[in-house]
Structure 1
Amino acid sequence: MDYIEECVRRVKAGEVDCFEPIVETYKKQIYIYCCRMLGCKQDAQDAVQDIFIKAFTKLHLYEAKVSFSSWLYKIAYHHCLNLIRKRRVRLRVSRLMKPAGHADSVEQTLERRWFSEPLEYAMNKLSVEERNLLVLRVFEDKPFSEIAQILDKNLSAVKKKYARMKQKVIKLMEEKGGTELCEITDSRTKIEC
């Protein structure tokens, strides 16, 4: 994306209006990524805004050694990771404070059904790093080389981790009775039960 690199160069030179085409190019992709990582539309909308603010304020640190897309996804990954950690703390506290017999709200129920039940079950059992790998490879259709850049890992380690994670997802989906729903695909890989 030479156009994006040109926009980045111009923003760094002080033409802040040139950041708008960058946002327009990536906002939908980053939103979908955040939805899949966080499992909540509202949290994803808030995260996208925060991610682009961080990208704008840290743009001076970007170097064209990696693609801008990889750099942006790396910011998104770390932002989602922090939100998930905070959510876990809030969840632990709320469980301590939650009265017995409390029912989930309609919104909470809908959020749980964002994915098919077997896939949601499997994704909830994955570590944050495994979930990120699944989202980047299967849903975002990123090549292993770009995923390695985003995660700061070497290429062979990412491929091995993906192979292990794929088997884990298949097993977890089978546990939940999702054998007919086990066709998680990307253009290079197909997870089959």
Structure 2
Amino acid sequence: MVAPELVRNAQTGDRDALITLLREIETHVYRTAFYILGNEQDAMDASQEALIRIYTKINSYEEKALFKTWVQRIVTNICIDKFRKTKPTISIDEHELSFTSSQNVENEIMDGYLAQDIREAIDKLPDHHRSVVVLRYLQDFSYHEIAESLDLPLNTVKSYLFRARQQLQTLLQEYQKGGVRG
């Protein structure tokens, strides 16, 4: 993700290195925030807050952990705090359908419903389960990286993921059967 020398240069006060570093991580920070919080505006606010915190705390980063896990811990904690303060709303992106075949249009619509169902199911997970799901499946973190990012024991991460997958499976089966949304 980020070169260690870029982080070291940013820590020594190299302004250009710090700006480059923040630009390299901003997409990852936003993606995590969006999937935890569930809407664009809250994700943008949390991302900005996380980037400011990273900017001001860069000197507190120690190379004991990977830089990306340190960053994810910051953004995840900000999102969890924000999520606890306000109940999230689900933002549904409008897709332009530009297909010639009605089968393609139908597939696009079904894919959109599936993505919406998955987002809604993830939103219904408890905070700690949502965080591990986002880091594992959307950010592609290993179990060890998740444990480091969230400051949790490895077995707790495994347990949270196991329970989260069970909950998601149940929720998605309800959607498939035409269960009540919301």
The unaligned stretches of length 5 or more in structure 1 are 92-106, 180-193
Name 1:175's counterpart in structure 2: 174
1:83-128 CA distance string (max 9 Å, x none): 111213xx8xxxxxxxxxxxxxxx96636x8973432332232101
Q: Say whether residues 1:17 and 2:16 are aligned partners.
A: yes
Count of residue pairs brought into register by the alignment: 161
State the shift of 1:37 in Å: 0.9
Q: Say whether residues 1:122 and 2:121 are aligned partners.
A: yes
1:44-64 CA distance string (max 9 Å, x none): 122222111100111121100
- 1:58 & 1:108 partners in 2: Cα distance? 31
1:132-172 CA distance string (max 9 Å, x none): 11111111111111001011112122112211211111011
Name 1:43's counterpart in structure 2: 42
1:4-40 CA distance string (max 9 Å, x none): 3212212222212211121121111111111111111
Name 1:110's counterpart in structure 2: 92
The one-letter code sitting in structure 2 at the alignment partner of 1:165 is A
**Conserved? CA contact 1:39–1:114, under 8 Å:** no
- 1:108 & 1:68 partners in 2: Cα distance? 30
Deviant stretches of 4+, over 4 Å: none
- 1:69 & 1:116 partners in 2: Cα distance? 26
- 1:108 & 1:33 partners in 2: Cα distance? 15
**Conserved? CA contact 1:8–1:18, under 8 Å:** yes
- 1:39 & 1:135 partners in 2: Cα distance? 11
CA RMSD of aligned residues (A): 2.6
Name 2:96's counterpart in structure 1: none
- 2:113 & 2:145 partners in 1: Cα distance? 27
SS for the counterpart of 2:86 is helix
The unaligned stretches of length 5 or more in structure 2 are 94-111
TM-score under structure 1 normalisation? 0.74
- Structure of higher RCO (CA pairs closer than 8 Å, 6+ residues apart): 2
- 1:4 & 1:56 partners in 2: Cα distance? 17
- 2:45 & 2:114 partners in 1: Cα distance? 20
**Conserved? CA contact 1:136–1:142, under 8 Å:** yes
- Percentage of matched positions with identical amino acids: 29
- 1:139 & 1:114 partners in 2: Cα distance? 18
State the shift of 1:178 in Å: 6.5
CA 16–166 in structure 1, closer or farther in 2 if over 3 Å, else same: same
- 2:31 & 2:23 partners in 1: Cα distance? 14
CA 38–178 in structure 1, closer or farther in 2 if over 3 Å, else same: farther
Name 2:26's counterpart in structure 1: 27
- 1:149 & 1:12 partners in 2: Cα distance? 21
